[in-house]
Amino acid sequence: MCGIVGYIGEKNATPIILGGLKKLEYRGYDSAGMAVLMDGRIEVRRDAGKLEKLAALIKESPIAGSAGIGHTRWATHGIPSARNAHPHLSKDGNFVVVHNGIVENFLTLKEELEAEGVVFQSDTDTETIVHLLEKNYTLTHDLISAARKTLLALKGAHGVVMMSRLEPDKIVAARIGNAGGVVIGYGEGEMFVASDIPAILDHTRRVVFLESGQMAVITRDGASLSTLTGLPVKPEFHVISWDPVAAEKGEYRHFMQKEIHEQVRSLTDTLAGRVDWEDARVLLPSLNLNREIAEKIQKITITACGTAAHAGMVGKFLLEHIARIPTEVDIASEFRYRDPLVNANTVVLAISQSGETADTLAAMEEARRKGAMVWSIVNAIGSQAMRIADGCISMQVGPEIGVASTKAFTAPLVDLYLLAILLGDLRGVLTQRDRQKLVSDLSVLPDAVGRCLDRENEVLAVARALKDTRDALYLGRGINMPIAYEGALKLKEISYIHAEAYPAGEMKHGPIALVDKDMPVVAIAPQDLWYDKMISQIEQVKARGGVVVAVATEGDQRVESLADHVFWVPRVNWLLAPVVTVIPLQIFAYHIASLRGLDVDQPRNLAKSVTVE
């Protein structure tokens, strides 16, 4: 959830960057820093903690210059500290970089650089970028060429901004995947770059958004856009309203669409500071969990409502398979009105975006009354569900405005995966090799989600074909069964189309009677443990004249030959598959509702937080 701001022009960059970082501080406050070109050198000020510490540091040791970049950080690689704060300088002091994202191949890059004599000054993955830039500049003697070569070497999804004292008239910015937005602001004799619009809205309303795989060379007179491979790109200008709500939406029509696209960033932030990539360990300090507590747990009961309950259903698979702890999922409104069998050896884990859901809070109170340990996974910092829990995991997704939850569904899936690894590790049921594999599989997840988002137009085409349907069936098996429930819920919530979800194995027990040419059947069929069973269900639907929309692994020719429409998703570890299989279903529901002219962000009869029964 890092924030980035840059400026080049005739004014002093320091107050402009500080002001912009203040607007983005909600995106990261583990540390903050700034670099400006001052008297022919790069001057850096940075410190751990909130932005006010950086401001005090600059007041004590002033810096000024007409070009600079700044950063407010939510830690990913490396603990929050001054040495891990951005910006990062090259060893010769000629280059400086700020970055949002996770360099998936940073260990490989770091080993190669260390073999060449580079001594790292931080624990961050970002530092590999600035050292690569320095290395490539010695080969090309050109900042733009060196930047291209560096960016093409990075795996994962990133927002990157670079500057050099050797070519002080320019700033280079790039977006790779969907880890973070990069917006270029156009002024008179001055230019701005930021990770989000609010940072520069006080200075300009005329902006260009970089797409994935694009970079911009920014001077005080304008910006030249191209692909990472050097093909020129014609900028598409947007004029942003001063209205803060419209500004927050940015390039998107609705908050829901924006929040769907923020999931690469929100998942990156969910991993931030919680995964020790080198030692392959999970860190969840706010859970207050140790080996003694982990070993005494005999059962976990997940309680939640709606979308959060669907996340909990996925969590049951993760906790039982990875940590080998019996787990059940209880709808909070039911849990509170019966006599649940929980005791001091039970953990009751509540999941809530708002942390103020009445039924979920009541379920937590009932669990406490019966002596259970109470944990929560919550998005809203300081909410009741966070305060009354014995331990908590924060979702780290930032504000979610759209009533239909999207990024606050995928984040707890990853939180539950992390929790399962930590419990499995503490209880001694995971080998080191197993743990390393599970942790390693996480590193590709933000990029995989970004690849799903890149296919939005393909999903839109299917939405156009099916927007007038009146009913739909959603089918899934195993760990993707809850995704069928979630996909159907999304369609119901915002498009008002009647949609039902079933475990695919239940089709022959009744629901198959509904199948005809007017009943689209959405089958979630990635190449996982249940793949052959899902293929059988698709064939049965086709044999009865049904229209099949399949969610399938990229390159699956068998599904392609059977289905009428396919939403392609990348191959990931089956335990993480729900994070990618749900993305096209979110996009599908969004575009159906939008094409039907409905109020996507505020669907009828619904509220964002259900604080009453």
**Which listed residue (2, 305, 392, 452) is catalytic?**
2
In this structure, whether the domain defined by 3-251 belongs to CATH 3.60.20.10 is answered with yes
* pLDDT tens-place string over residues 216-247: 999 999 999 999 999 999 998 988 765 555 55
**Is 94:166 a contact under the CB 8 Å cutoff?**
yes
Q: Which residues contact 513 (CB under 8 A, 6 or more apart)?
A: none
Please tell me the distance from the alpha carbon of residue 572 to that of residue 396, in angstroms, as a whole number. Answer: 22
> Who wins on pLDDT, 608 or 395?
395
User: Which tokens in the block code for residue 530?
Assistant: 């249940």
Q: Is 2 a catalytic residue?
A: yes
**Which listed residue (53, 155, 299, 608) is catalytic?**
608
* pLDDT tens-place string over residues 470-485: 999 999 999 999 999 9
* pLDDT tens-place string over residues 83-113: 888 899 999 999 999 998 888 898 899 999 9
Please tell me the distance from the alpha carbon of residue 89 to that of residue 91, in angstroms, as a whole number. Answer: 6
Choosing among 3.20.20.70, 3.40.50.150, 1.10.540.10, 3.40.50.10490, the CATH entry for 260-443 is 3.40.50.10490
pLDDT above 70: residue 28: no
Please tell me the distance from the alpha carbon of residue 479 to that of residue 504, in angstroms, as a whole number. Answer: 12
pTM for the structure as a whole = 0.70
Q: Which residues of 25-64 are buried (b: 16+ CB within 10 A; e: fewer)?
A: ebbbbbbbbbbbbbeeebbbbbbbbebebbbebbeeeebb
Q: Residue 103: what pLDDT?
A: 87
Please tell me the distance from the alpha carbon of residue 257 to that of residue 280, in angstroms, as a whole number. Answer: 34
pLDDT above 50: residue 612: no
pLDDT above 70: residue 29: no
Residues facing 159 on adjacent strands: 100, 175
Confidence of residue 383 (pLDDT cuts 50, 70, 90): confident
Please tell me the distance from the alpha carbon of residue 417 to that of residue 311, in angstroms, as a whole number. Answer: 11
Listed by start position, the domains of the chain span 3-251, 260-443, 449-595
pLDDT above 80: residue 343: yes
Helix/strand/coil percent split, the chain, to 5: 40, 25, 35
SS (H, E, C) 138-188: HHHCCHHHHHHHHHHCCCCCEEEEEEECCCCCCEEEEEECCCCCCEEEECC
* pLDDT tens-place string over residues 441-494: 999 999 999 999 999 999 999 999 999 999 999 999 999 999 999 999 999 999
- 101: closest CA among 174, 51, 172? 174
Domain 449-595 in the same topology as domain 3-251:
no
Residue with tokens 């939405």: 463
Vertex 58: Cα angle to 55 and 59 (nearest 5): 85
Please tell me the distance from the alpha carbon of residue 142 to that of residue 115, in angstroms, as a whole number. Answer: 24
Q: Helix, strand or coil for residue 108?
A: helix
Q: Which residues contact 275 (CB under 8 A, 6 or more apart)?
A: 281, 282, 283, 418, 439, 442
Q: Is 392 a catalytic residue?
A: no
pLDDT above 90: residue 315: yes
Q: Identify the CATH number of the domain defined by range 449-595.
A: 3.40.50.10490
Residue with tokens 């200075």: 203
